[in-house]
């Protein structure tokens, strides 16, 4: 959301703006502005509504391309604005973009470094918009397999950032930034379209039919919700809704549960499957779980890691499985990395497993050979389909 704004460099006018509108801060080091009327690519968005006329009264002129409505700033006349003051102003909600020209200082959460350099998180956040524009985001796919037969049932689509200098970044490095600045709406819609289209592409070349799971951020349930983008992804790809699983987190239950239930019921009406990801790590109410129209519980990796040696984790996993089965839900265990874990989960009655024991997330070009070799191995082994030990792409990162 690039907001070109022409603003006077006169400190008195800037101060007048601050005094008249105390909720605003101006993210401008006035000493870095070389002449009046410089065009700034402002990159902070807090959602404060202002009219052009209000700004003109304060000596601020907007260019013809400036939007009618949003002007947000952080006042830093002396360059000594503290991180706490920045955070209090709500800058965690900003939309950082690459900045050109005279905008010298930039603040985000940790404040500035004192040498004019951006904090690492702020620098990465500023790169994210450019990465999106340049098409540096991609999807990798991690197999989900039957716990008894190891047959491939489907894949989870996982977004990655092909960073030009840092290599392949997993979602834990940047998705929270996308949620904070609102980019997750566009990214999430793209993931849905891309994942569904990829399933259709696999179908078109005769690969075994699979399901696809896509994560939904709680942010995607704000505003109009995800119904339209899900419907569009299904329509454009032509795949059956029953082959799409949408993964939500427990935290979603705490945000307007009645509204979320309505959204989930509309999604269910399309025919998609719904699952709760990382179950057991949040603070969900069991009463909400009973009301939510979900089909699957996914056990978080943190409970699976020491499953075979930690009685506490074993008890938690057992309880989740019993709870899910009593509610008629299927159970998926994430983070399965060894045979002892798999055997414990299989005996408990877990339906599907996912983890490095079977495969890391794979780039799309490795999926056809993975599925074909799996099919051949399954036919040779009869009812048991052992997954092949394919070499993983050197760029693949852990799912976290």
DSSP letters, 31-58, are: GG--STTPEEEE------B--HHHHHTT
| 137 and 103 in a common domain | no
Residue 16 contacts residue 65 (beta carbons within 8 Å): no
In whole angstroms, what is the distance from residue 365 CA to residue 380 CA?
Answer: 24
pLDDT at 377: 55
Answer whether residue 67 is part of any domain: yes
Residue 113 lies in a domain: no
Query: 44 and 13: one domain?
Result: yes
Within a domain: 391: no
pLDDT tens, residue by residue, 176-196: 888 877 889 999 999 999 999
Give the burial class of 172: count Cβ atoms within 10 A of its Cβ; 0-12 exposed, 13-18 middle, 19 or more buried.
exposed
Of residues 273, 207, 286, the one with CA closest to residue 243: 273
Say what the pLDDT of residue 388 is.
37
| Structure confidence at residue 87 (pLDDT) | 35
**Whether residue 146 is found in the same domain as residue 98:** no
> Among the listed ranges 11-15, 132-136, 354-358, 367-371, which one has the minimum average pLDDT value?
11-15
Lowest-confidence region among 1-10, 156-165, 324-333, 337-346: 1-10
Q: 387, 374 in Cβ contact below 8 A? A: yes
Percent of the chain with pLDDT over 90: 46
Highest mean pLDDT among 79-88, 125-134, 303-312: 303-312
Shared domain check, 153 and 32: no
Q: Partners of 279 in the beta sheet?
A: 299
pLDDT for res 120: 66
Q: Does residue 122 form part of some domain?
A: no
Q: State which of 24-28, 124-128, 201-205, 382-386 shows the largest mean pLDDT.
A: 201-205
**How many CB atoms are closer than 10 A to CB 72?**
25
Stretch 305-310: mean pLDDT: 90
Q: What is the pLDDT of residue 371?
A: 86
Q: Residue 117 falls within a domain, yes or no?
A: no
Q: What's the confidence (pLDDT) of residue 379?
A: 57
At residue 400, does pLDDT exceed 60? no
- In the predicted structure, residue 242 carries a pLDDT above the cut 50: yes
Give how far the C-alpha of residue 101 lies from the chain's centroid of Cα atoms, to the nearest Å.
31
Residues 177 and 210 in one domain: yes
CA distance 117 to 120: 9
Domain count for the chain, please give it.
Answer: 2
- Look at 123 and 71; give whichever has higher pLDDT: 123
Same domain, 90 and 152: no
Residue 389 falls inside a structural domain: no
**Token pair of 20, please?**
């008249």
Structural domain for 186, as ranges: 131-381
Which segments within 45-124 are labelled E, that is strand?
Answer: none
Q: How many C-beta neighbours within 10 Å does residue 226 have?
A: 26
Are residues 135 and 241 part of one domain?
Answer: yes
Would you say residue 247 lies in a domain?
A: yes
What local confidence, expressed as pLDDT, does residue 399 receive? 38
**pLDDT tens figures, 129-154:** 889 989 999 999 999 999 998 989 99
pLDDT band at residue 42 using 50, 70 and 90 as cut-offs: very low
| Whole-prediction pTM | 0.68
Rounded mean pLDDT, 315-320: 93
Instruction: Report how far apart the first and last C-alpha atoms of the chain are (Å, whole number).
Output: 30
Confidence tier at 222 by pLDDT (50, 70, 90): confident
- 285 and 207 within one domain: yes
Residues 69 and 205 in one domain: no
Q: Say yes or no: 67 and 182 in one domain.
A: no
What DSSP designation does 148 have?
Answer: T
Are 18 and 162 in a shared domain? no
Contacts 24+ apart (CB under 8 A), 333-336: 333/147, 333/298, 333/299, 333/304, 334/278, 334/298, 334/299, 334/300, 334/301, 334/304, 334/399, 335/300, 335/301, 335/302, 335/304, 335/305, 336/304
Cα gap 246→268, rounded to integer Å: 10
85-90: average pLDDT: 36
pLDDT reported for residue 376: 58
From residue 166, give the alpha-carbon distance in Å to each of 34, 106, 124, 320: 34, 22, 10, 38
Asked whether residue 148 is domain-assigned, the answer is yes
Report the C-alpha gap between 278 and 298 in whole angstroms: 6
């Amino acid at each position: 959301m690039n907001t070109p704004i022409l603003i006077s460099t006169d400190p008195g006018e800037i101060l007048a703006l601050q005094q008249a509108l105390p909720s605003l801060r101006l993210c401008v080091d006035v000493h870095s502005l070389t002449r009046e009327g410089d065009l700034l690519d402002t990159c902070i968005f807090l959602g404060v509504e202002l009219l052009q006329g209000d700004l003109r009264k304060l000596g601020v002129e907007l260019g013809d391309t400036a939007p009618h409505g949003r002007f947000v700033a952080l006042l830093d006349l002396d360059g000594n604005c503290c991180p706490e003051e920045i955070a209090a102003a709500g800058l965690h909600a900003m939309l950082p973009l690459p900045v050109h020209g005279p905008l010298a200082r930039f603040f985000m959460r940790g404040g500035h470094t004192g040498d004019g350099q951006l904090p690492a998180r702020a620098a990465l956040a500023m790169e994210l918009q450019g990465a999106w524009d340049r098409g540096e985001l991609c999807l990798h796919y991690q197999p989900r397999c039957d716990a008894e037969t190891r047959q491939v049932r489907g894949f989870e689509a996982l977004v990655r950032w092909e960073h030009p200098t840092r290599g392949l970044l997993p979602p834990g490095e940047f998705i929270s930034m996308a949620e904070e600045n609102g980019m997750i709406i566009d990214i999430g819609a793209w993931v849905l379209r891309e994942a569904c289209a990829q399933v259709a592409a696999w179908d078109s070349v005769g690969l075994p039919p699979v399901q696809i799971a896509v994560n939904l951020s709680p942010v995607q349930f704000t505003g109009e919700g995800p119904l339209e983008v899900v419907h569009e992804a299904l329509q454009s790809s032509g795949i059956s809704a029953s082959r799409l699983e949408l993964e939500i987190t427990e935290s979603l239950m705490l945000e307007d549960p009645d509204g979320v239930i309505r959204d989930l019921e509309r999604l269910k009406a399309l025919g998609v499957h719904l699952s709760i990801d990382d179950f057991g790590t949040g603070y969900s109410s069991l009463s909400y779980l009973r009301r939510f129209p979900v089909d699957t519980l996914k056990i978080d990796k943190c409970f699976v890691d020491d499953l075979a040696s930690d009685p506490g984790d074993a008890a938690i996993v057992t309880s989740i499985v019993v709870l899910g089965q009593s509610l008629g839900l299927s159970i998926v265990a994430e983070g399965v990395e060894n045979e002892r874990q798999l055997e414990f989960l299989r005996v408990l009655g877990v339906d599907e497993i996912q983890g490095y024991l079977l495969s890391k997330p794979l780039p799309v070009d490795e999926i056809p050979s993975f599925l074909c070799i799996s099919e051949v191995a399954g036919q040779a082994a009869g009812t048991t389909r052992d997954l092949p030990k394919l070499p993983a792409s050197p760029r693949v990162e852990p799912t976290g």
